[in-house]
Amino acid sequence: MSYFLGLDLGTSAVKCILVDERGAVAGSHSVEYPLDQPHPGWAEQHPEDWWQGTVQGIRELLDHTGTSGVDIIGIGFSGQMHGSVFLDADQAVIRPALLWCDQRTAEQCAQIEQAVGVDELGRLTGNRALTGFTAPKVLWLRQHEPEHYARVRHLLLPKDYVRLRLTGALGMDVADASGTLLLDVAARRWSQAVTERLDIPLDWLPPLYESGEIAGRLLPEAAALTGLAAGTPVVAGGGDQACGAVGVGVVREGIASVALGTSGVVFVHDDAYQTDEAYRLHSFCHGVPGKWHRMGVMLAAGGALQWWRRHFAHEELARAQAEGRDVYNVLTSEAAAAPLGSEGLLFLPYLTGERTPHPDPKARGGFIGLNLRHGKAHLTRAVLEGITFGLRDSLELIRASGVAVRELRVSGGGARSPMWRQMIADIFGIPVVTVNSTDGPAYGAAVMAASGVLGRDITELCDEWIRIVDRAEPDAARHAAYEPYYRIYRELYAALKPAFHQLSDLAAQG
Ligand code: ADP
């Protein structure tokens, strides 16, 4: 039997999975590495830790599954996006990488929007300048560590650095490159206009590939370290969002996904490049060649429910332990007993500010409409409904562009709850499905590897390998009953924004 190796270089760990030629997962293994936060809001990692973790992960996966390296016929990559790996002329790492969640570059984002213009930047790159993106990190290095900046000759994203160590080849896929703010996303090539305006040398940027293209072959020394065979093809892969979407089969128009983890991501496949007028959705190249995607990001989705559980679910936790159940299962059963709309109660989920559709770090959460009849079950239900309304905001931006979404594929911790899946179907008015592949971005990376090695379409492979295992149909009456609640929800952010900002400023003063 031959296998494809999917590697997902995450923020806390690298996950390695083996997928056989029929698409079945034959084994998986993760190795963790540290995250440094040298100052509040900063987040850095050492590329060497990624490399060591990947080598160890592959070796242990082969060991645990009793697989011989020669049976691995292709390798694909997924990875945390946006991180900046600065390399010198000898391809040596100059300083730790600044990660996607690093917040130090607010000033540089403003400078970029000033230098390029918000509209021009949006037109060219499909996005506004956000602190997580790569280009602001380059400007930060130039302004704060000029001695390091002077040595830079290559700029890579995290997974591309590990592929460089495996293959000796510099490269980046267009899906992940979309998060640099330096890519002409519509044309799928580096943007000369943006790099010139920001004074970033174009020759620091690596050759570009589509996700399923072979971007290098395993070096003999990397083969010796990992136990794989020298010459094994390594495809370009993609950023974790694109790989996660491929991993659940979001590879044609009309199909969207919701990744319901700590944050929430609504992701839709686009056959043509599209943006919304204020660039509230991110527009990126997809991992499917010649296709694009848009996504909305909600900062506290499952994170808001987790906050609720941590502080207010002590009784539920005790009950869960006594009954041998998951505490989220107890919470969602309780919420199911409260009526739809939580008897006139709405929850705003902006607990850590918001990204889509309100890019506002000072947005705040709240319960609106409390009365004496409300008890714990109402509040828990309102939290679930509020998070779901927040996700629907992204869907509405997608719908406004004329794309009709007919199926939603859900994944992540929140997707474990049948009650929540039905609520999403009812609030969105769209069928919600779960699929057999639950290995997320690592699975998408393996699909990309298979595509490159077997010379097959990613879409075709997804159709063959990924099956729907559960489907929740929207209930028309419940959908109609949710509509007035959603309309009120949509008006609350604008109405409360001044209060959110004042409260956030007061809290910051201590
Ligand atoms: P991360 O984004 O941190 O990887 P996960 O995808 O594991 O997170 O999702 C974790 C979140 O999923 C939790 O914070 C919680 O909100 C939600 N969750 C986990 N299990 C359940 C469940 N059984 N029912 C409802 N929500 C759940």
pLDDT in the model for residue 356? 95
Q: List the beta bridge partners of residue 192.
A: none
Q: What are phi and psi of 216, to 5 degrees?
A: 170, 170
Query: How many degrees, rounded to 5, is the angle at CA 132 between CA 131 and CA 133?
Result: 95
* Positive or negative torsion for Cα 300, 285, 161, 203: negative
- Measured between alpha carbons, how far is 274 from 276 in angstroms, rounded to an integer? 7
User: 17 C-alpha vs ligand 1 centroid, how far in Å?
Assistant: 21
Q: What is the DSSP string of 408-440?
A: EEEESGGGG-HHHHHHHHHHHTS-EEEES--SH
H or E element, residue 407: strand 407-411
333, 381, 417, 434, best to mutate for ligand 1 pocket (most atoms within 8 Å of CB): 417
Annotated binding site for substrate: 81-82
Give 301 Cα–ligand 1 centroid separation in angstroms.
9
Q: What is the 3-state secondary structure (H, E, C) of 264-286?
A: EEEEEEECCCCCCCCCCCEEEEC
What distance lies between CA 248 and its chain's CA centroid?
Answer: 13
Q: CA-based Rg of the chain, rounded to a whole angstrom?
A: 23
CA 305 to ligand 1: nearest atom: 16
Report residue 508 CA to chain centroid gap. 29
Ligand 1 center–CA 442 separation, angstroms: 18
Stated pTM of the model:
0.94
pLDDT by residue, tens only, the chain of 510 residues: 999 999 999 999 999 999 999 999 999 999 999 999 999 889 999 999 999 999 999 999 999 999 999 999 999 999 999 999 999 999 999 999 999 999 999 999 999 999 999 999 999 999 999 999 999 999 999 999 999 999 999 999 999 999 999 999 999 999 999 999 999 999 999 999 999 999 999 999 999 999 999 999 999 999 999 999 999 999 999 999 999 999 999 999 999 999 999 999 999 999 999 998 889 999 999 999 999 999 999 999 999 999 999 999 999 999 999 999 999 999 999 999 999 999 999 999 999 999 999 989 899 999 999 999 999 999 999 999 999 999 999 999 999 988 999 999 999 999 999 999 999 999 999 999 999 998 989 999 999 999 999 999 999 999 999 999 999 999 999 999 999 999 999 999 999 999 999 999 999 897
User: What gap in Å lies between CA 291 and CA 300, rounded to an integer?
Assistant: 29
Both tokens of residue 379?
């509040």
CATH code, 301-432+470-509 = 3.30.420.40
The pLDDT tens digits for 39-57 are 988 999 999 999 999 999 9
Distance of alpha carbon 136 from alpha carbon 130, whole angstroms: 8
Atom of ligand 1 nearest to the CA of 304: 16
- Residue 510 is predicted with a pLDDT of 78
Torsion of CA 206, 212, 216, 217, to 10 degrees: 170
Q: Are 474 and 272 in contact (CB under 8 A)?
A: no
CB 431 within 8 A of CB 471: yes
Place of tokens 């700029």: 155
Can you give the pLDDT at residue 277? 84
> Any residues with CB less than 8 A from the CB of 370 and at least 6 apart, and which?
345
Structure confidence at residue 81 (pLDDT)? 96
Residue with tokens 């083969």: 223
For tokens 């097959």, the residue is 456
Nearest CA to ligand 1 atom 12: 413
Q: How far apart are CA 329 and CA 416, in angstroms?
A: 9
Residues annotated as part of the active site: 240
Instruction: Tell me how far the alpha carbon of residue 414 lies from the centroid of ligand 1, in angstroms.
Output: 5
Which residues pair with residue 259 across a beta bridge? 265, 411
Question: Which of 248, 262, 332, 423 to mutate for ligand 1's pocket (most ligand atoms within 8 Å of CB)?
Answer: 262
Q: How far is CA 384 from CA 348, 413, 450, in A?
A: 10, 13, 38
Angle made by CA atoms 261, 266, 272, in degrees to the nearest 5: 145
> In angstroms, rounded to a whole number, what is the distance separating the alpha carbons of residues 228 and 420?
42
The matching CATH number, chosen from 3.30.420.40, 3.90.1150.10, 1.10.10.10, 3.40.50.720, for 3-236 is 3.30.420.40
pLDDT tens digits, 210-233: 999 999 999 999 999 999 999 999
* Residue extents of the structural domains in the chain: 3-236, 301-432+470-509
Residue nearest to atom 8 of ligand 1 (CA): 261
- The answer to whether 151 and 163 are in contact (CB under 8 A) is no
Per-residue pLDDT at 40 = 87
Phi, psi of 288, rounded to the nearest 5 degrees: -85, 125
